[in-house]
Amino acid sequence: MAAEFDLNLIRTFVLLYETRSVTAAADVLGVTQPTVSYGLGKLRRRLGDELFARGPGGLVPSSEAERLYPSLRTAVEQLDVTIGAATQFEATGPVSFSIGLTDLGEINSLPLVLAELAARAPAATLQVHAFDIDTATDQLTRGRVDAIVASPVLDSVRLDRMPLFTEGYVGMVATDHPRLRGDAATDAEFRAERHIVVEGTTGHPAPRNALRAHGLEGQIAVRITRFATLPYVVQDSDLVAIVPQRIARAMTDTHRVRTFTLPWHIDPAEIAAYTRRPPGRNAAQTWFLEVIRTALQDLP
């Protein structure tokens, strides 16, 4: 019994460290906030350290908490595997999930995830949240979203990252572009055109970085915030865009645009799924992560 109580305290500590919130930790553990506060008091007395102090962004771990977290998190993960703490989840009735996606993700990945989810759990519902790199880690660790699929790297010890697929880039112009008419553009042809780029924090900085690296920053005529806007502008102009390959294929099916091979190599982007690490991740979220993996991993 003492060992079980100690394990519960360790879980409380790990979740407080990862969520930086008594409220969020209580939600994950399925207990009341006073229960978590009482457990934190026990930990403080047992370890002889305050462990966490209140700050403007939530709980701030002490140096002792920083030292303890890696080993305690590993201990909880190993125990969960050993004793099967995460029970098998079965989506036999109504269940709700949430996912964070970029605008590209909503166009490209969401239909595939929805199809897989419907096949496995017809009664399930899904809430889609706009991806925001500044709040993404907090959304996951506090349980506000179950998973995020995006290309920017979320570098946090509180999250698990699962690579899904890589995506290269192609050029895109209007189908009746007056100059670029072939399946490929030369360096000289590309340099003679004006360009449109997508700026922001939702990922895929490679196109604008490539223009900058090749001295074409001055050739950027339009800067927009969303890839979803791109085909509407390109189809009615002579502007040139660099677009992720898979989304470009979808845009050619729905807009008066076509693609061509770029004159230079651009390293492909890696798209990954992010979830919070156990013990914060529950069995339902682990099941949903498998839905995402099946739908999206190793896409051509």
Residue 90 falls within a domain, yes or no?
A: no
Question: Are 28 and 107 in a shared domain?
Answer: no
* Predicted local distance difference test score (pLDDT) of residue 280: 67
- pTM value is 0.72
Residue 262 falls within a domain, yes or no?
A: yes
* Predicted local distance difference test score (pLDDT) of residue 77: 74
Amino acid at 36: V
Query: Is 250 a residue whose pLDDT tops 80?
Result: yes
Q: In the numeric block, which tokens belong to residue 262? A: 């770029």
Residue 133 falls within a domain, yes or no?
A: yes
Query: What is the domain-level CATH number for residue 113?
Result: 3.40.190.10
Question: Are 108 and 153 in a shared domain?
Answer: yes
Question: Are 138 and 282 in a shared domain?
Answer: yes
Question: Are 145 and 260 in a shared domain?
Answer: no
- Which residues on adjacent β-strands are paired with residue 60? 53
Residue of 277 and 224 predicted with greater confidence: 224
Burial of 278 (0-12, 13-18, 19+ CB in 10 A): buried
Question: Are 158 and 225 in a shared domain?
Answer: no
Question: Are 162 and 285 in a shared domain?
Answer: yes
Find the distance separating the first CA and the last CA of the chain, reported in whole Å.
52
The count of domains in the chain is: 3
Percent of the chain topping pLDDT 70: 93
Query: Is 212 a residue whose pLDDT tops 80?
Result: yes
Residue 91 falls within a domain, yes or no?
A: no
* Predicted local distance difference test score (pLDDT) of residue 81: 61
* Closest by Cα among 249, 255, 254 to 237: 255
* Predicted local distance difference test score (pLDDT) of residue 5: 45
pLDDT digits (tens, 9 = 90+) for 135-145: 898 888 878 89
Amino acid at 176: D
Question: Are 173 and 262 in a shared domain?
Answer: yes
Which run of H or of E encompasses 23?
Answer: helix 22-29
* Predicted local distance difference test score (pLDDT) of residue 85: 44
Question: Are 252 and 278 in a shared domain?
Answer: no
* Predicted local distance difference test score (pLDDT) of residue 86: 46
Residue 88 falls within a domain, yes or no?
A: no
Question: Are 183 and 143 in a shared domain?
Answer: no
Least confident window among 76-85, 121-130, 185-194: 76-85
Query: What is the domain-level CATH number for residue 24?
Result: 1.10.10.10
Question: Are 275 and 209 in a shared domain?
Answer: no
Q: What is the DSSP string of 130-165?
A: E--TTTHHHHHHTTS-SEEEESS----TTEEEEEEE
Inter-CA distances, 294 with 95, 145, 164, 210, Å: 19, 19, 9, 32
Query: Is 104 a residue whose pLDDT tops 80?
Result: yes
Question: Are 71 and 144 in a shared domain?
Answer: no
Q: How confident is the model at residue 1 (pLDDT cuts 50, 70, 90)?
A: very low
* Predicted local distance difference test score (pLDDT) of residue 189: 95
| Separation between Cα atoms, residue 55 and residue 43, nearest integer Å | 19
Query: Is 297 a residue whose pLDDT tops 80?
Result: yes
Q: In the numeric block, which tokens belong to residue 33? A: 């906030």
| Separation between Cα atoms, residue 48 and residue 42, nearest integer Å | 10
Cα–Cα–Cα angle for 269, 274, 280, nearest 5°? 165
Its domain, for residue 177, covers 169-267
Which residue, 27, 57, 83, sits at the end of a domain? 83
